[in-house]
Structure 1
Amino acid sequence: MIKRSLFLVTFAASLLLWLGVAVAEEAFFETEALNTGLGVAPERVDRSTPRATVETLFRLGALGDWEAAAHVLDLSALPPGLQAEQGAELARKLKSVLDRKIIIDWSQIVDRPDALDARASSRAATSGMARKSLRLWEFDLGPVPSSIRINRVAADGGEPVWVFSERTVENILPLYAEFGPTRFEQWLPDPLRRDAFWGLMWWEFIGLPLLISAAVAVGLAVRSGVRAVRRKATARLSKKIIQAASTPLIVAAITTVIWWGAANLFVFSGRINVLVSPLVAVGFVTALLMLILNTLEQVLDALVGFEDIDLTTRQEAQNREMATKVAALRRVLALAIFLIGAGIVFSTANIFERLGLSILASAGAITLILGFAAQKVLANIMASLQISLNQSAKVGDRVVFKDHLCHVERINFTYVQLRDWDGTRLVVPVEEFANETFENWTLKEPEMLRILKFKLLPDVDLEALREAHREVIGSLDPEELDDTQKAKVVVTGQDVFGIDVWFYVPCADPNTSWDVACQAREALVDHMNRIARQTKTPIFPEATPAEAA
């Protein structure tokens, strides 16, 4: 009994599934007549599947057989007497628009009569369903976007065929007026308007370099104009505002020329347009965001400017901390503005629609490649934020990095700029600076103890040395010294050459401690030589170069 019930359930499910497929295969629009003014479609016209219909349009268009290509359009809106004449022209104009605006991803156009997408996810709304209408592309044709759609149509009991929908055919003329060849292109001689290679026409190999050259020339002119205006400006704030707007204006000028030229002078083919359109969006967004970022930086400089302040002095500890936090804020703002700009570009440039999904199927691999290539840059950016947040090194701090005594001048996105004691600059990648051990003489308490180390003979008069040390400390600038009670003379070791004597010099400012230590060392050597002459006994051990080594 149970086996019989299971058999009946299985049979019923199979029957329903078969009926569903059978019904699905019959999904189409019924119409009384289809393109009666064109006559019977020739055998070279294949309208059996969506892909075959689109391929037929491009194949016959490449041959110039527009009369046959008209059969892939639903011309029901035209009187039969006008279908043959206007259908060929409409087919030509539709192909021209598609050539100029898209790159066809054939793998995304279904090649089944029922248009069932076998690759669709089981959760998709159309999973396992035959379809009778497909939207292939969409163009911005204000105020309402225009879709390129193909329908499966059967005329009065005939075989269903796939044709470009009646609504799409109605939009061909507005689309051609918006995206078709410009008047300038129509003036060009026929040889230049012929196909060259890589899906481009000969005039495009001339027009694109000309457009780029014109854009660069305009950009250079804008730069010269901005520099002239800046030279004439007298107020400091005006110069800063002009400087902040300089680069955004140049980028905007170049982008405007390319945008206007590609829209009104040279309407390029899809292979070029698919790159130009996103680049135009990137250019305008970049110019706007750069203007915002530069303006914010100038505002921050005006509020908490440190250009006229020497941040290396010990009195500017609070300003050093503030300058480092402002630098961190700038990096956070720049990163946030970059992410916002990237989102705007991807949402407005319609990149995914233009490129097709299969081209973006490799986006994961491309992302990995770009991520690997940008690994160092991203690591440096994160390291710079880390330094700014944990305050391990602030702008103006005195540090010893790889035996270089430096001031931290700048903490940028990808590098730290250090000024050596002799005025030279060290440019260190932020990641390397953060991973290396370095001494920060200004961290926490600016006061520090400099130790002068000497190798002296064992029978040296230590009390005389202590008296000389006190005289040296007394001769130094009191403003540069810390608590003089920390000044000591101690013996820290001995060997066959003599004893190790350390002289402590307490310094108040790490930025001047090196100079103070040099003065103290010079004075101590002078006192030691004087003691040696007075006592007629040597103080420094005599050693040959081999022994010293």
Structure 2
Amino acid sequence: MKTSLTGILMVWLLALSCPGVAQEEGEETRWFSVDALNTGLGQPPDEIERRTPRDAVRSFLTLTQDEDYAAAAHLLNLLDLPPEEQAERGAVLARQLAAVLQRGEWINVSSLSSRQDAMVVESSGKSSRVGQSRRNLELASLDLDGQSYEVRIARYRAGEQEPVWLIAPETITAIPRLYEKYGPSWLEDQIPERFQVSFGKLKLWEWFAIPIFLCLIGAVGWFAHALMGLLASRLPAGLSSVFAQMIRLPLAFIVMSLLTQWLLDYVVSFSGLVTAIFRGLLVIIMAWGVGLIALRLVDTLLIRMTRRLVGEIDDTKSRDERQLLTTLHALRRAVILITVTGVAIYVIAQVSLFETLGVTLLASASVVTVLVGIAGQAVLGNILASFQISLTKPIRIGDLLIFEDQWCYVEGIYYTFIRLRTWDERRLVVPVRYFISKPFQNLSSKNAKLCQTIVLTLHISADVATLREKFKEFAMAEEKVIDHHSLACYVTGQHEATQEISFYLTSPEPMGAWAAEAQVREKLLAFIRDHHPEWWPRSVVVLSEHDIARGDTPEHRRIRRPARVEKIDDASNAESPSDD
């Protein structure tokens, strides 16, 4: 019994001691413990706030903006410097770090934590750290000679003093090297002090230098554009001059981007906000220019292959040639899609959006998917339908179609629409989804050969044998008529006083068949008009002598068509003597 009570008492005492141990361990993980902080600097001024990351960075930026570098040194952890050098070297390092932060990367102070323990209150990233305190934060990441240097702020506690946030010693060590690259340029050193004062987010001299900078870049871009146009005009006519003309604009933007990058690296350096904007735009413009030049190269090669292998776009070309041209255009769309995707991924990676926008989009993937699905349903549907046409090939470039009673050629198959060329040189631009949802006739599906039918309605007395011979004579005289052995003439219908006579001819392509049909029809009508006008359809009206005597004639009845009048004896049809 005594042993049981002793065990229970020990467990109870252990339970009471555990929270204290856990609390002590938790406090140790919230800061770095050091023996002393900046003993060579003395007591920090009262206006310095170092309790939270946001207060520490804001105080550092404010003091350096006021050029109070001695006070700003209290926000650096000068642990690696001897105490007798901390005062002198600390002010210099504070000034250099301020210049690096001003020109290297813009820091959004509002995004820093306002808590003393910098606890994560919202989930961000792949691994959630909500509810965990932090003692080390990254302010910026700068590239130097192919290596990445981080500017970090950490929480330190010396003895029993209150913990404070200071720039980490590893950052202090890298400041001189970073200052060589991101410090003031030679041009900025020549600017008078009165223009070095801050005016809003920028310095006073930057408000004048940035417009001049942009005008200089624009002038160089215009010169590159004009020079490329002159070169294109001097080149011999052909694909080389076409390619040079097509890449004038993207090449001008690439030249502007390279010049801007060189000026920012070696001539002039702006504040971090302006530099961040410029560098982001440079990445986008460079990627866009290179991608567009690649697409122009693909277009040039496509034009060359089209002219060499296919030629003019119509249905007189063979089925294989038209199918090859359609495949080339489908390949172009695939290259465009791959290029755009690659450029987008490159831009996002270069401007470091994967850690912010990328994670946010992934976190709300369902919402984004729904919004994109609703807003881009028509566009995505047309793109998918375009690839469906490219794979199944119900139509090919150069095919002759009858689409909504319009004779038209397929001139181009694009991502969202199909361009059709009508017989009268008009252009129909039809959305891809609308096109595949409507029935159409592809007159060039197998081959371009087409059989045409001429139908004439003539009097029952017309001699079909004579018309058949004349039809073969007229058809064989036409250049657009082939397969003379298949020429045919048949009576395909008969009415009370008329008959329908159909004539059949074949042409190598539909437009030629239409023209041959019209020519042969004209000749047949002229032959009937000149030699057998009695073969025209006419109405037969039977009148008695009684009708003629009282003037009941077709003229009085206002019958417009010619009538054949036959006299019939009333006596033969009289029913009784009283009728006479």
> TM-score interval w.r.t. the shorter chain?
0.7 to 0.9
For residue 399 of structure 1, what is the aligned residue in structure 2?
Answer: 401
5+ residue gaps, structure 2 = 1-6, 540-557, 561-580
User: Is the deviation greater in 213-222 or in 262-271?
Assistant: 262-271
* Cα distance in 1, alignment partners of residues 433 and 307 from structure 2: 27
Displacement of 1:116 after TM fit? 3.2
Shift, 1:154, TM fit: 1.8
Residue 290 (structure 2) aligns with: 288
User: Could you give the per-residue CA deviations for residues 291-313 of structure 1, whole angstroms, max 9, x where no partner exists?
Assistant: 44444444455556447723424
1:163 matched to 2:166 = yes
The residue aligned with 1:184 is 187
Cα distance in 1 between the residues matched to 2:270 and 2:529: 86
Q: Counterpart of 2:80? A: 77
Q: CA deviation at 1:128?
A: 5.2
How far is 1:395 from its partner? 1.4
**Per-residue deviation, 1:346:** 2.4
Partners of 2:460 and 2:358 in 1: CA distance: 89
How far the C-alpha of 1:139 sits from its partner, in A, is 1.0
Return the match for 1:145 from 144, 148, 152.
148
CA distance in 2, matches of 1:480, 1:457: 24
Which secondary structure does the structure 2 equivalent of 1:145 belong to? strand
1:110 to 113, 123, 131: 113
Q: Could you say which residue in structure 1 is the equivalent of 2:45?
A: 42
- Write out per-residue CA displacement over residues 265-308 of structure 1, whole angstroms, 9 at most, x where no aligned residue: 44333433333212212333333334444444444555564477
Q: Retained in 2: the 8 A contact 1:105–1:359?
A: no
In terms of mean alpha carbon deviation, does 469-478 or 384-393 score higher?
469-478
Give CA-to-partner distance per residue, 1:237-279, whole Å, 9 cap, x none.
6546645754553232121122223333443334333332122
What is the CA–CA distance in structure 1 between the aligned matches of 2:272 and 2:169, rounded to whole Å?
24
Matched to 2:407, the amino acid is L
Aligned to 1:474: 475
CA contact (8 A) 1:396 1:407 kept: yes
Q: Greater shift after overlay, 232-241 or 260-269? A: 232-241
1:324/1:394 contact within 8 Å kept: yes
TM-score, structure 1 length as denominator? 0.81
Higher relative contact order (CA 8 A, sep 6+): 1
SS at match of 2:446: coil
**Partners of 1:506 and 1:474 in 2: CA distance:** 9
Instruction: Please give the alpha-carbon distance, in whole angstroms, between the structure 2 residues aligned to 1:39 and 1:352.
Output: 43
Q: Deviations over 1:309-328 (max 9, x none)?
A: 23424342211111110111
Shift of 1:171: 2.3
CA positional deviation for 1:123: 7.9
Amino acid at match of 1:514: W
- Secondary structure of 1:519's partner? helix
1:87 to 2:100 alignment: no
SS in structure 1 of the partner of residue 147 of structure 2: coil
1:186-230 deviation line (CA, Å, top 9, x unaligned):
433455544344x23444444333333323322222233223333
Aligned partners of 1:465 and 1:543: how far apart in 2? Answer: 31
For 1:319, the equivalent position in structure 2 comes to 321
Q: Counterpart amino acid of 1:309?
A: G
* Structure of higher CA gyration radius: 2
After superposing the two structures, state which structure 1 stretch, 321-330 or 421-430, moved more: 421-430
SS at match of 2:336: helix
Matches of 2:373 and 2:263, distance apart in 1:
34
Amino acid at match of 2:464: E
Aligned CA distance change for structure 1 residues 537 and 521 (closer, same or farther; 3 Å)? closer
Cα 1:121/1:257, change in 2 over 3 Å:
closer
Cα gap change, 1:154 to 1:459, in 2 (>3 Å): same
2:214 & 2:108 partners in 1: Cα distance?
28
1:69-128, Cα deviation, whole Å (9 max, x unpaired):
322111223343443344344334433433444444556533333333243479838665
Q: CA–CA distance in 1 between the matches of 2:373 and 2:274?
A: 26
Q: Give the distance between the partners of 2:369 and 2:191, measured in 1 at CA.
A: 42
Secondary structure of residue in 1 paired with 2:141: strand
Of stretches 307-316 and 271-280 in structure 1, the one that deviates more from structure 2 is 307-316
Partner of 1:230: 232
Mean Cα deviation higher: 302-311 or 148-157: 302-311
TM-score (norm. length: structure 2): 0.77
Matched AA of 2:265: A
**Superposed counterparts of 1:327-342, under 5 Å:** 327-342=329-344
Does the 8 Å CA contact 1:35/1:74 hold for their aligned counterparts?
A: yes
Q: 1:100·1:273 contact (CA, 8 Å) conserved in 2? A: yes
Match of 1:385 among 384, 387, 394: 387
- How far apart are the structure 1 equivalents of 2:167 and 2:359? 21
In structure 2, distance between residues paired with 1:267 and 1:369: 41
Judge which range, 32-41 or 301-310, deviates more: 301-310
Which of 304, 310, 313 is the equivalent residue of 2:312? 310
In structure 1, distance between residues paired with 2:474 and 2:16: 103
Q: Is the partner of 2:321 in helix, strand or coil?
A: helix
Partner of 2:134 in structure 1?
131
Q: How does 1:209-358 map to 2 (within 5 A)?
A: 209-234=211-236, 236=238, 238-239=240-241, 242-243=244-245, 246-302=248-304, 305-306=307-308, 309-352=311-354
% identical aligned pairs = 29
SS at match of 1:71: helix
Q: Distance in 2 between matches of 1:532 and 1:143?
A: 97
- Provide, for residues 342-381 of structure 1, a one-character-per-residue CA deviation record: whole Å limited to 9, x for no partner: 2222223334569897899899988987787665554444
AA matched with 1:517: E
Shift of 1:397: 1.0
- 8 Å contact 2:153–2:168 — kept in the other structure? yes
Residue identity opposite 1:139 in structure 2? L
Question: How many residue pairs align between the two structures?
Answer: 535
Distance (whole Å) between structure 1 residues aligned to residue 152 and residue 448 of structure 2: 73
**Match for residue 546 of structure 2?**
none
- Matched residues in 2 for 1:280 and 1:145: separation? 20
Q: 1:250 to 1:374 in 2, by over 3 A?
A: farther
Query: Residue by residue, what CA displacement relative to the aligned partner does 1:3-60 show, whole Å, maximum 9, x if unpaired?
Result: xx9xx99998897566434422233223232112322123322212222222322344
Q: Which range is displaced more, 519-528 or 247-256?
A: 519-528
1:251/1:283 contact within 8 Å kept: yes
Q: Partner letter of residue 138 of structure 2?
A: R
Q: Distance in 1 between matches of 2:437 and 2:44?
A: 74
Who is 1:522 aligned against? 522
Once the two structures are superposed, residues 121-170 of structure 1 have per-residue CA deviations (whole angstroms, 9 ceiling, x without a partner) of: 79838665443322232111224211011122122442221101012122
Match of 1:232, as an amino acid? R
**Residues 41 and 414 (structure 1), Cα distance of their counterparts in 2 relative to 1, 3 Å cut:** same
Q: What secondary structure is seen at the aligned counterpart in 2 of 1:422?
A: coil
Q: State yes or no: 1:447 paired with 2:446.
A: no
Which residue of the other structure, out of 34, 53, 58, is the alignment partner of 1:55? 58
